[in-house]
Amino acid sequence: MHVACLAAPFTFTWSGLVVFGGLVWLTGAIGVTLTFHRLLTHRSFSVPAWLEYVLTVIGTLAWQGGAVQWVGTHRLHHKHSDGDEDPHTPRHGFTWAHMLWCMHREAGGPVSARQAAGDLVRDPVHRWIDRLFWLPQVLLAVGLYFAGQWWSGSGWSWVVWGVAARVVFVYHGTWFVNSAAHTWGYRNYETPDGSTNLWWVGLLAFGEGWHNNHHAHQRSAAHGQRWWELDMTYWTIRALGWVGLARDICLPGRRIRRRAVRSSAPVLGAQVALTPDPQGS
């Protein structure tokens, strides 16, 4: 994806830039932040099952792997924050925490990400979405090419900006949460890890930069806690609540809204049974 970005300056069009921006929001804010992180990993709120599956498909478009790997890895990060079994521990350096870790098949300890996401693995629909996580991206790329050709003869511009440049932009937004928001910034809470609140990661990653708040209140749907800690993803969750699609929205120290739509919704990732993998995978 990074190599494909080399074509971006040569394929620039204004319509491609609009496609880029729209898909950054859809796949970064909705796919990764709202769905993979706050909904599937932490169950900070609940939505009807059909919507959870649609949102998960949108999450696969971020090209950060299927939901099982993503959710399991992040639960291990919370379980072992900044320790040796943290898959992207900053102890191995900033570059490791930022991006090198994900070039390793299992960067953490003896418990696999798949084990830590057992609730998703047990759901047959999630298993299928996970297995075919590459398919929506392929269909999107083909669709963008033909739509761009039809709109203004700029099919390749829409593919390069709507897939490669967009995926790389969202990659680094997500990765800065693991690297920069464990390195620079201020802390509202004395958590045992090195998590920090960092304003520019908050903007880049749609509210995820208030990462020290998140480590202190992992299940809270709201990561921004002061008035100036802008949290666009929480606003979206509240909007879903207003139209009746999001329920059981968790906040620090209190719970609002009505009962969960899905009573089988598992609890915090940190409470997942972490048993050693007998296959050692």
Which spans of this chain sit near Zn ion (rule: CB under 5 A)?
195
Residue number with CB closer to Zn ion (15 or 92): 92
Judge contact between 114 and 71, C-beta under 8 A. no
Kindly report the backbone phi and psi dihedral angles of residue 178, in degrees, each rounded to the nearest multiple of 5, phi listed first.
-75, -30
Residue number with CB closer to Zn ion (148 or 207): 207
For residue 251, what are the β-bridge partners?
A: 254
Judge contact between 109 and 275, C-beta under 8 A. no
- Name the minimum Å distance from CB 77 to Zn ion: 6
Closest-CA residue to 258 (of 35, 53, 46, 34)? 46
- Name the minimum Å distance from CB 38 to Zn ion: 8
- Name the minimum Å distance from CB 37 to Zn ion: 6
Residue number with CB closer to Zn ion (195 or 233): 195
CB atoms within 10 A of CB 228: 7
CB atoms within 10 A of CB 29: 20
- Name the minimum Å distance from CB 212 to Zn ion: 9
**83 CB contacts (<8 Å, ≥6 apart)?**
89, 91
Judge contact between 171 and 64, C-beta under 8 A. yes
Residue number with CB closer to Zn ion (11 or 212): 212
Residue number with CB closer to Zn ion (35 or 157): 35
The sign of the CA dihedral 181, 186, 189, 193 is positive
- Name the minimum Å distance from CB 74 to Zn ion: 5
Residue number with CB closer to Zn ion (46 or 195): 195
- Name the minimum Å distance from CB 216 to Zn ion: 11
Instruction: Name the closest residue to Zn ion (Cβ).
Output: 195
Residue number with CB closer to Zn ion (63 or 210): 210
- Name the minimum Å distance from CB 211 to Zn ion: 5
Judge contact between 202 and 225, C-beta under 8 A. no
